[in-house]
């Protein structure tokens, strides 16, 4: 059994490496398509971390929604926009680089020091329920019913809004 | 003690995700790149929720539900932002955020 424990640990390191490598690829690549690929790698890594955190359901949902839907939408956006040559020349000009590095280093150090090394998080003494899908589904339909309905309203609004936004220009052009 | 079974590890990972997103948001020169960076920030927040849910929270369903809601919001946001980008590209023929000076369509 101890072998599986170490195997899970190695897998965890691999997932963290995948997450960070995808992130670096997404921010440092010249082509936007490579950036989307890096985003997909990061999302896979985070899905594996959800698995480690004891929720296979969320790992599935992460792959289904983020990798399956959001990445495809972004790829569509990339393909409908500028051509890759136009973007490659101006994507990494380096003008914002010192500002970006400064902001990120400051934010990282501040968050690291303030929240991680100085705060003690005490676990709850008593747990109700468990991590299973059944419990999540029950809570969604009983305790968090209003939020559940609101999220469907938000999704409907997003669908209608994006259709209206994307249609408007086309009619203007054809008339 | 296993490093994968520790709250602080996950917090550090989510801080790194947030910082990567912040860096990309400042540094990318196109609207799509900024959208990609915002997905990183949202993922960092979701991972934070899941980590606290696993190690600290008394009710283990709350963090999962929050993460599901973050995913739903991110999907809606991506759809709307991509359609806005398509409209902006039709109007200005460019995706550079610095060329978008007026909001009149």
ipTM of this model? 0.90
C-beta atoms of A58 and B50 within 8 A? yes
Q: Is pLDDT above 50 for A175? A: no
Q: Which residue has the higher pLDDT, A126 or B20?
A: B20
Average pLDDT for chain B: 87
Q: Please give the Cα distance from B60 to B35 (Å, whole number).
A: 31
CATH number of A1-88, picked from 1.10.1070.11, 1.20.120.1200, 3.20.20.20, 3.30.360.10: 1.20.120.1200
Across the interface, of B43, B51, B72, the residue whose CB is closest to A151 is B72
Count of pairs with CB atoms under 8 A, one residue in A, one in B? 239
| Inter-residue contact A91 to A32 (CB < 8 Å) | yes
* CB-CB neighbors (< 8 A) of A16 in chain B: 13
- Locate the chain A residue with the closest alpha carbon to B45: A46
- Mean pLDDT within A146-171: 87
Q: Where are the alpha helices (DSSP H) in chain A?
A: 2-28, 32-52, 56-61, 71-80, 84-90, 97-111, 133-142, 145-174
Residue whose token pair is 């990282």: A108
Q: What percentage of residues in chain B have a pLDDT greater than 70?
A: 95
Q: Which residue has the higher pLDDT, A95 or A11?
A: A11
With bands split at pLDDT 50, 70 and 90, how would you rate the model's confidence at A173?
A: low
CA distance B7 to chain A (A): 9
CATH number of B3-99, picked from 1.10.3720.10, 3.50.50.60, 2.10.10.100, 1.10.287.3510: 1.10.287.3510
A52-92 per-position pLDDT tens digit: 998 999 999 999 999 999 999 999 888 887 665 555 555 55
Within 8 A by CB and 6+ apart from A136, the residues are A57, B61, B64, B65
First to last CA, chain B: 58
* Positive or negative: CA dihedral A152, A154, A157, A161: negative
Q: Please give the Cα distance from B42 to A89 (Å, whole number).
A: 29
Neighbours of B40 (CB within 10 A): 29
Neighbours of A140 (CB within 10 A): 18
* CB-CB neighbors (< 8 A) of A57 in chain B: 64
Q: Which residue has the higher pLDDT, B78 or B104?
A: B78
Report pLDDT for A170.
56
Q: Is pLDDT above 80 for A101? A: yes
Q: Please give the Cα distance from A123 to A120 (Å, whole number).
A: 10
Across the interface, of A24, A65, A168, the residue whose CB is closest to B71 is A65
A 44-103 residues inside an 8 A Cβ radius of B: 46, 49-50, 52-55, 57-58, 61-62, 65-66, 69-70, 73-74, 76-78, 80-82, 87, 90-93, 96-97, 99-101, 103
- Mean pLDDT within A139-152: 91
Furthest-apart CA atoms within chain B: distance in Å: 58
Q: Please give the Cα distance from B15 to B87 (Å, whole number).
A: 33
Domain borders along chain B are 3-99
* CB-CB neighbors (< 8 A) of B80 in chain A: 158, 161-162, 165
For the ranges A4-8, A16-20, B56-60, the one whose mean pLDDT is highest: A16-20
Report pLDDT for A115.
74
Q: Is pLDDT above 80 for B39? A: yes
- Mean pLDDT within A117-135: 81
CA distance A6 to chain B (A): 9
Domain borders along chain A are 1-88, 130-175
- Mean pLDDT within B6-16: 89
Report pLDDT for B75.
92
First to last CA, chain A: 70
Q: Please give the Cα distance from A104 to A71 (Å, whole number).
A: 25
């Amino acid at each position: 059994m101890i072998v599986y424990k170490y195997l899970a640990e190695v897998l965890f390191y691999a997932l963290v490496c995948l997450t960070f490598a995808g992130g670096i690829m997404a921010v440092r690549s010249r082509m936007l398509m490579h950036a989307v690929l890096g985003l997909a790698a990061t999302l896979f890594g985070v899905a594996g971390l959800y698995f480690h955190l004891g929720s296979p359901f969320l790992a599935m949902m992460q792959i289904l929604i983020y990798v399956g839907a959001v990445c495809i939408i972004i790829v569509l956006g990339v393909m409908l926009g500028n051509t890759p040559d136009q973007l490659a020349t101006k994507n990494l000009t380096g003008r914002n680089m010192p500002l970006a590095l400064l902001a990120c280093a400051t934010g990282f150090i501040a968050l690291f020091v303030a929240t991680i090394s100085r705060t003690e998080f005490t676990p709850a003494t008593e747990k109700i329920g468990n991590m299973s899908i059944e419990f999540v589904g029950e809570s969604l339909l009983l305790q968090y019913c209003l939020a559940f309905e609101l999220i469907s309203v938000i999704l409907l609004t997003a669908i209608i809004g994006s259709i209206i936004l994307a249609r408007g220009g086309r009619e203007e052009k054809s008339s | 003690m296993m490093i994968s079974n520790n709250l602080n590890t996950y917090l550090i990972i989510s801080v790194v995700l947030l910082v990567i997103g912040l860096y990309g948001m400042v540094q990318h020169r196109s609207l799509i790149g900024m959208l990609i960076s915002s997905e990183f920030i949202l993922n960092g927040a979701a991972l934070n929720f899941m980590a606290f849910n696993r190690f600290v929270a008394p009710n283990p369903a709350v963090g999962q539900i929050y993460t599901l809601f973050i995913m739903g919001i991110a999907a809606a946001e991506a759809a709307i932002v991509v359609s806005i980008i398509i409209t902006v590209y039709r109007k200005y023929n460019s995706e550079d955020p610095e060329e978008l000076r007026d909001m009149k369509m």
